[in-house]
Amino acid sequence: MTPAIAIIGGTGLTALDTLKITRRETLSTPYGEPSSPVLHGELGGRAVAFLARHGPHHTLPPHKINYRANLWALHRLGVQWVIAVAAVGGIRNDMTPGVLAFPDQLVDYTWGRGCTFFEDNLSQVTHIDFTEPYCGELRERLLHAARALQLDARESCTYAAAQGPRLETAAEIRRMERDGCDIVGMTGMPEAALARELGLRYAACAVVANRAAGKAPGVITMVEIERNLVEGMDKIKSLLIQAILMLDGGR
Ligand code: HPA
């Protein structure tokens, strides 16, 4: 069965144990290899495809991810909805560890990544509209699911896409704050723009893993990030099932 829905799992969600896996598919694309084989399976009674953004063993850093191959592969499978799961740092005061955040805007600070499909052999230069970078309908479904489950969720926020793989300086975070950003992650772009170029309905749900640099005393450690993600990803797993139950997979 063609999966209408895909989940791209990020840090803390390399595997989705709630997915009843039926098949693993290794795809190649004109842009190279996706981060991992696509796992086909069933979640919430629907056919779902799952892709581990950082690779099956979480070895690809954000700037090395082949975002074009990942999105192209999902598009080729006939996927229409893409739910992107990501770990983020919290900039806004209410973005504390464990909170779920559903961005409705983004600012892109990344560079040097393969960021468009409209590059070579063009019959004309193409500029996509990106005023609203996330699919409003999919966001609404995710928010609806979060409300139904009474999860501690932030319904409107701006995502800062940082280059990484290092974390930010305190001054960089202050700059992002002045720019209107509420959360910061490293993988939201060019993923969202590539999804739009392919006409995929794409929305993100983020788990706050730590307070962003300079927002809490001390250094940010991977141990802290991973600890906070365990609980957050459990919430994401229930959210995904609930949201998928509510999605019209046939469209
Ligand atoms: N900054 C960028 N990306 C992140 C962070 C952060 O503080 N935490 C988790 N992903």
pLDDT confidence bin for 138, thresholds 50/70/90: very high
Interval between CA 65 and ligand 1 midpoint (Å): 16
Under the banding of pLDDT at 50, 70 and 90, the label for residue 248 is low
Q: Mean pLDDT, to the nearest integer, of 134-142? A: 97
**Tell me: the pLDDT tens digits for 216-231?**
999 999 999 999 999 8
What's the whole-number mean pLDDT along residues 23-43? 96
The secondary element (H helix, E strand) that includes residue 47 is strand 46-52
CA distance linking residue 56 with residue 169, whole number of Å: 29
The encoded tokens of residue 177 equal 């704050």
Ligand 1 contact, 90 CB (< 6 A): no
pLDDT at 250 over 50: no
- Which amino acid residue places its CA nearest to atom 10 of ligand 1? 88
**5-250 fold:** Rossmann fold (3.40.50)
- What pTM does this model have? 0.96
